[in-house]
C-alpha cells in the first residue's frame, strides 16, 4: 500500500512540474475513422444473378475504419504557439455485404486503404500549461489502394488501382502534459482527400472494360479506378473522412524559453 501511495505521489509531482516545452515534439497515435460524403456508401439491396459491377458505383462503399499515424511539430516562434507540422497517416476503411442466392451465400468484403503524407501549420493556445488545446491546417498527398473480394457462391477479386489525390486536413485537439517530456494527445481531423487530381478512367480486366455482370464463379482479376471526376456515365465523388484519435506526445530537444 505504501508503494502505491508513493507511485501516486510521484505521478502527481510529474504532472504539476510542467513549466517548459521543447522545440520539437513527436506524436504517435491511433483511432477510429468515419467515411463521409462519397467515401461512405451502401451495397445494393439485391445483386440479381451475377456479380456486381463496381465500375458504376457512385461511392467507395465503405462504412467504418481505423487509423494509425505519427506526426512531428516544430516551434517557429518565441512563445511556442506557432508550429510547423508534418506527418504520416494510414486509414483502412471497410464495408461488406452478404447476399442469399439459390446456390448459397455470396459475400463481398471491400477495403480502401489511404496512405497520407501531410505538412502544414498549427496554433497552440497554451503551450506551457498542463492542458494545451491546438488547431491546425495541413496540405496532404493521399495514396489510394485496396480491393474488393467476392466469395462463396461465386469468386472474384477486384484490385483497386493505386492512385494519388491531393487535398487538405483541418484538425484540432488537446495535449495533456504528464511530465516535462511526455503527454497524452487526443484530437480530431476532417480530411478532404481529392480536391486536386480527380480522374475519370475505364475499369480494366486484362485490358478490357469490366462487363456489367461477370460470369458467376469466374475468379477474374480486375483493376478498379476511383473514377472521381464527373463524366457521362459517373458523377464526381467527394472523398472525405472524419478521424478521431488518441496517442502519446514526446517532447524532444531544447526547451522553449
At 56 the pLDDT is 81
At 209 the pLDDT is 33
- Assign 22 a pLDDT band (cuts: 50, 70, 90): low
Mean pLDDT in the chain? Answer: 84
Q: What is the mean pLDDT of residues 23-41?
A: 96
Reply yes or no on whether the pLDDT at 119 is more than 90: yes
What does the block give as the cell for 169? 486536413
CB 18 within 8 A of CB 177: yes
CB 26 within 8 A of CB 252: yes
DSSP assignment of the chain, as one string? -HHHHHHHHHHHHHHH----EEEEEEEEEEEEEEEEETTB----S--TTS---GGG-SS--B-EEEEEEEEEEEE-STTS-EEEEEEEEEEEEEEEEEEEETTEEEEEEEEEEEEEEEEEEEEES-TTSSEEEEEEEEEEEEEEEEEEEEEESS-EEEEEPPEEEEEEEEEEEEEEESSSSEEEEEEEEEEEEEEE-------EETTEEPPSSPPTT---EEEE----S--SSS----EEEEEEEEEEEEEEEEEE-
Q: Which of 172, 187, 181 is nearest to 249 (CA)?
A: 181
At 51 the pLDDT is 86
Query: Is the pTM here over 0.75, yes or no?
Result: yes
* Residues 6 or more apart in contact with residue 83 via CB below 8 angstroms: 73, 74, 75, 76, 121, 122, 123, 124, 136
- Domains in the chain, start-ordered, CATH in brackets? 2-256 (2.40.160.20)
Of residues 17 and 65, more confidently modeled = 65
At 12 the pLDDT is 38
Percentage of the chain modeled with pLDDT above 70: 81
CA dihedral 18, 252, 141, 163 (to 10 degrees): -120
What does the block give as the cell for 40? 461512405
At 101 the pLDDT is 85
Q: What is the mean pLDDT of residues 55-70?
A: 94
Return d(Cα 106, Cα 177) in angstroms, integer.
51
At 23 the pLDDT is 87
At 11 the pLDDT is 37
At 150 the pLDDT is 93
Neighbours of 55 (CB within 10 A): 21
Q: Which of 227, 247, 245, 246 is nearest to 237 (CA)?
A: 227
What does the pLDDT look like over 210-238, one tens digit per residue? 333 333 334 444 689 999 998 777 789 99
Least trusted range by pLDDT, from 6-15, 86-95, 101-110, 136-145: 6-15
- Assign 253 a pLDDT band (cuts: 50, 70, 90): low
Amino acid at each position: 500500500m505504501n508503494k502505491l501511495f508513493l507511485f501516486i505521489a510521484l505521478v502527481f509531482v510529474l504532472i504539476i512540474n510542467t513549466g517548459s516545452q521543447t522545440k520539437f515534439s513527436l506524436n504517435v497515435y491511433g483511432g477510429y475513422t468515419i467515411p463521409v460524403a462519397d467515401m461512405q456508401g451502401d451495397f445494393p439491396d439485391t445483386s440479381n444473378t451475377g456479380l456486381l459491377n463496381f465500375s458504376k458505383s457512385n461511392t467507395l462503399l465503405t462504412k467504418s475504419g481505423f487509423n494509425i499515424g505519427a506526426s512531428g511539430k516544430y516551434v517557429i516562434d518565441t512563445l511556442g504557439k506557432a508550429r510547423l507540422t508534418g506527418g504520416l497517416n494510414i486509414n483502412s476503411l471497410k464495408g461488406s455485404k452478404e447476399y442469399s442466392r439459390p446456390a448459397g451465400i455470396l459475400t463481398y468484403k471491400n477495403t480502401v486503404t489511404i496512405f497520407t503524407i501531410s505538412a502544414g501549420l498549427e496554433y497552440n493556445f497554451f503551450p506551457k500549461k498542463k492542458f494545451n488545446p491546438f488547431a491546425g491546417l495541413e496540405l496532404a498527398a493521399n495514396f489510394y489502394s485496396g480491393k474488393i473480394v467476392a466469395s462463396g457462391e461465386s469468386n472474384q477479386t477486384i484490385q483497386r488501382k493505386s492512385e494519388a489525390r491531393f487535398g487538405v486536413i483541418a484538425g484540432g485537439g488537446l495535449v495533456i502534459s504528464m511530465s516535462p517530456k511526455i503527454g497524452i494527445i487526443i484530437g480530431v481531423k476532417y480530411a478532404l482527400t481529392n480536391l486536386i487530381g480527380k480522374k475519370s478512367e475505364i475499369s480494366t480486366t486484362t485490358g478490357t472494360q469490366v462487363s456489367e455482370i461477370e460470369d458467376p464463379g469466374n475468379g477474374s482479376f480486375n483493376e478498379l479506378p476511383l473514377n472521381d471526376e464527373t463524366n457521362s456515365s459517373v458523377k464526381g465523388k467527394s472523398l472525405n473522412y472524419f478521424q478521431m484519435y488518441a496517442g502519446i506526445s514526446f517532447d524532444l530537444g531544447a526547451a522553449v524559453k
